[in-house]
A = this chain, B = another copy of it.
Amino acid sequence: MSKSIGSIRIQEADFSVDNEYQNLRAAHASQNGAICTFVGLVRDFGDKKGVTGMYLEHYPGMTEHSLQQIIDQAASRWQLHNVSIIHRVGQLNLSEQIVFVGVSSAHRADAFASCEFIMDYLKADAPFWKKECNDQGSEWVEAKQSDQDRAQKWSKD
């Protein structure tokens, strides 16, 4: 088994997409042909209207372990140079950044596929739980079957 790649951070603090992008770009600089990034944001309409923010809980230790397994799977399936994952926890307001996934590769097909693969498995497997805060109070978000289905579909390819 080759050495694991990837940077994983679970933090309350906000993050800079630019910092992450510049780090991905600087490593393997002359060999990077493609960098794909994804950011998930707190948005106004999920299961209900009037969202004012959310609270994110996680399982320290297992989270990092789970994300590293997802990166390892991606790296064994596609040719990747680097991967960066940041997931915030704690209280987040509307339109704040929740999650960052960035991937650098020689080729765009590998960058796109692996970035989406990592997000799909993060949503299906990584131990995070969202509590949505709205005008009426707060409520735990129900897991969506569609998120399990999206992760499942990668094993059919």
Chain A residues with CB under 8 Å of chain B are 17-18, 21, 25, 29-41, 43-46, 94-95, 106, 108-109, 111-112, 115-116, 119, 150
Contacts and interface: CB of A to CB of B under 8 A. Distances in A.
A38 B35 contact: yes
18 contacts: A17-B17, A18-B18, A29-B95, A30-B43, A30-B94, A31-B43, A32-B43, A33-B40, A33-B46, A35-B41, A36-B36, A36-B115, A37-B38, A38-B111, A38-B112, A108-B119, A112-B115, A112-B119
Query: Can you tell how many copies of this chain the complex includes?
Result: 2
Nearest to A25: B41
Question: Which 4 residue pairs of A and B lie closest in terms of their CB atoms, listed nearest first?
Answer: A18-B18, A33-B43, A30-B44, A112-B116
